[in-house]
Amino acid sequence: MASSTMQLHSLFILFILLICNSSATTQPSSKHYVVYMGGSDHHEDEGGDEAAELAHLTLLSSIIPSDESERLSLIHSYNHAFKGFSALLTESEAALLSDHDEVVSVFPDPTLQLTTTRSWDFLDAQSGVESHHVYGPDHASAQDVIIGVIDTGVWPESPSFSDEGLGEIPLRWKGVCMEGHDFNKSNCNRKLIGARYYNVIEDSLELNSKKSNKSTTPKKGSGSPRDLVGHGTHTASTAAGVPVANASYFGLARGTARGGSPSSRLATYKACNEEGCSGANVLKAIDDAINDGVDIISISISMSSIFQSDFLSDPIAIGAFHANQKGVMVVCSAGNEGPDTSTVVNSAPWIFTVAASTIDRVFLSSVVLGNGHILRGSGINFSNLTRSKMYPLTFGRDVAGTSVPLSEASNCYPGSLDAKKAAGKIIVCINTDPTVSRRIKKLVTESARTVGMLLIDEASKEVAFDTGVFPFSQLGDIEGMQILKYINSTKNPMATILPTMDMKRFKPAPVVASFSSRGPGQLTETILKPDVVAPGVGILAGMAPKGEEGIPFGKKPSNFAIKSGTSMACPHVAGIAAVLKSFHRTWSPSMIKSALMTTATMSNNLGKPFTNNTDNPASPLEVGAGEVSPLRATNPGLVYETTSKDYLYFLCYYGYKPKVIRSVASPDFTCPKNSSEDLISDINYPSISIRSLQARRSVRTVRRTVTNVGHANAAYIVSVNSPTGLDVTVRPQELLFDEKTMKASFEVSFSSNGAKKGYNFGSLTWSHGLHSVHTVFVVNII
């Protein structure tokens, strides 16, 4: 009887637990959402942060039932340059908020991606004069320019952030140096003048744990501005690092490492970690940076091109729009999803979008075959192999595991190699499946106890892969065929891989990086993106010294690292923009952008049009206006000023409702009566993109206005470079400027006279004396 009672009791307890678990699973789950409420219309004396948070909590409480008030979970309040907040919401609550009149958009917090010495010398050489003759590290006015870097934080001890020789911090600076784990206020100085961090994930866990009473709060001090990834330190030092003599990455790329604007101040905003970046974090960082007083914001972060949001549901686009309204320039990476077309991201016209190119330095990891032939490969390895000893050389498919498809072993898939057969040999892998990265192939061959790996992959060979002490070399198709032919024709093929050497003054350069995302933009083809290209391959810059595997024996972690990506290209342009800002304090972000675009070059160091990674001529869909030329940009002659009205018209033409646009910008704004996407081509942008032009009997005319920032009494004459069959007419053909700051307008008409279908590229150039104002155009013939 007692046993029976116990069984019933146990069943009852089990039943109750099942009911509880069942009801728990049916409760709607909360996710992190961003609620964007448009432009900020309050003044700082109207309550500030506390008043904004109270208003946001009040709005939240209006859609969350009173019996669930413990779920009120405000995470961020945005109230400086724009209005809004982020919070934990259910899907239905997010829908309710989106119906509020004061709400512009509500969207799930997206996870954004990080788009991860010699480069400045190379840009100077391309300009024809060394930049330190024009603006050096002691350029006084640059000390008043502040660059905000939104990334993974900063390693403050890096020699790139020394404040020696810098004057007092600009009085207009309102930012802070937040303390955190292993970071205190003394880590900031006259160079690194501010540091913030954002812990959305931890905050969300803490808020979600209120009902369960389980402690998911992070350990005290876990948050910090300190960079534990290295990406943020690298980008910040590229933008504004001070000159550091004799810098190198374990002896490679030795020289003086410096940023684009060495005298400018830096403020860092840690919105990311190694797993990515919370969009809500990034939006909060932009809001803070604007309020802190930065002049330039550098963001080497992007959405995936596959999951691009429209402009008013994209945290970077939203923040950058309001930054631009406040006179703050935002420079962003174009993405690392090339060479596929339509992969460019950060494509809003108010963002300066930067693609990546090579410089004239390469990292050679040569392969010596048993027959004495030496093949040039690329890679960064610090192995101890030498010419004096050879090792067995074999193709991956020849050491395949049991029942493994030969194609998988050839590509060195995980689990595809027989370790007993592969051990002690140099393995040759191919890359017909790009889903298996170089890093995975390296781990596969290394775990099989091989001596080293040779990778045959033409597409990405210009981007040297760092394998530490593991012997590695990447070769192109021609060299790859020679290796496979040698293996197949030799009884006992042998080889060795030599440690890396760097070679300067390599030609041709620049070349568009294979990984650099290409246009046209997915959201609209009527704005040409990317805007420009800048060095983004094999860039030496500051690094968080980490005790990683692969450090050469007997060496300490390096203060510098060699990285590639549009992440590296972006801060190059941010640094140059800071220099231009220091020379021209009254210039708007669009004037600086125009100066950099209209003076960009399309020539390489052979004096020929530069190419992409397939040796074909680079097109504006890959490089925009061309590669930035820092020195020419300081004196562009004429600039296109894209005004706030242009950007608002862009939103009209794109299809947003006038009511939404009024919330974003101005309550009295009115869209033009005629609003269609094709009219986006008419906004005063420094390039021209016509998304569709009929092949027969069709004319498209656009209008542009330029402002004279050169000498008075100047006459500019136009010349046109257009492809066969595309008729381009400019009216008038001469622009006269009696005074400096005088404006003049012109029209450009396009018509097809047998032009090939698809994208046609060309340019028009306004010339006066030493000034050549170059404007590229793209016309899609349908």
The C-alpha atoms of residue 10 and residue 53 are separated, in whole angstroms, by 49
Task: Please pick, among 56, 80, 139, 231, the residue that the annotation labels catalytic.
Answer: 231
**Closest-CA residue to 112 (of 337, 270, 281):** 281
Distance, in Å, from the CA atom of 539 to the CA atom of 562, rounded to the nearest integer, reads 5
Residue 7 lies in a domain: no
Tens of pLDDT along 47-83? Answer: 678 888 999 999 998 888 766 666 678 899 999 999 9
Indicate whether 188 and 328 sit together in one domain.
yes
- From the candidates 121, 151, 227, 646, which is the catalytic residue? 151
- 689 catalytic? Reply is no
Q: Is residue 16 situated within a structural domain?
A: no
296 and 420, same domain (yes or no): no
The predicted structure's pLDDT at residue 274? 87
- Would you say residue 376 lies in a domain? yes
Nearest to 436 by CA among 401, 467, 412, 400: 412
**Number of structural domains the chain divides into:** 4
Whether 583 and 703 share a structural domain: no
Percentage above 90 pLDDT, the chain: 79
For residues 335 and 369, state if they share a domain.
Answer: no
Q: What is the mean pLDDT of residues 433-450?
A: 94
Please state at what angle helix 315-325 crosses helix 279-292, rounded to 10 degrees: 10
Is 360 known to be catalytic? no
**DSSP label at 481?**
H
Q: Give 106's strand partners.
A: 35
At 208, is the pLDDT very low, low, confident or very high (cuts 50, 70, 90)?
Answer: very low
Concatenated DSSP letters for 318-367? Answer: HHHHHHHHTT-EEEEE--S-TTSSS------TTSEEEEEE--SEEEE--E
Task: Clarify whether residues 313 and 170 are in a common domain.
Answer: yes
Q: Are residue 351 and residue 409 in the same domain, yes or no?
A: no
Name the residue among 227, 207, 225 with its Cα closest to residue 216: 207
Q: Which two tokens stand for residue 298?
A: 């550098």
Residue 91 sits in the same domain as residue 123: no
Within a domain: 757? yes
Catalytic residue among 237, 263, 514, 567: 567
Q: Of 436, 465, 499, which one is at a domain's C-terminal end?
A: 499
* Domain termination site, one of 479, 499, 519: 499
Residue-number span of the structural domain to which 769 is assigned:
638-642+684-781
pLDDT-above-70 percentage for the chain: 88
Whether 660 is in a domain gets the answer: no
User: Measured in Å, how far apart are the chain's first and last C-alpha atoms?
Assistant: 88
User: What average pLDDT does the chain have?
Assistant: 90
The verdict on residue 667 lying in a domain is no
pLDDT digits (tens, 9 = 90+) for 603-659: 999 999 999 999 999 999 999 999 999 999 999 999 999 999 999 999 999 999 999
Strands 296-299 and 276-278 come out as unpaired
Distances (CA, A) of 326 to 5, 39, 82, 269, 642: 74, 11, 10, 19, 14
CATH of the domain at 45: 3.30.70.80
In this structure, the number of other CB atoms found within 10 A of the CB of residue 469 comes to 16
Q: Are residues 351 and 384 in the same domain?
A: no
Tell me the pLDDT band of 296, cut-offs 50, 70 and 90: very high
Tell me the one-letter amino acid at 317: A
Mean pLDDT of the region 300-319 = 92
Active site includes 186? no
Which pair of tokens denotes residue 166? 């810098």
> pLDDT confidence of 132, banded at 50, 70, 90?
very low
* Tens of pLDDT, residues 346-387: 999 999 999 999 999 999 999 999 999 999 999 999 999 988
Residues 440 and 461 in one domain: yes
Rounded to two decimals, the pTM is 0.90
pLDDT by residue (tens digit) across 215-244?
Answer: 333 333 369 999 999 999 999 999 999 999
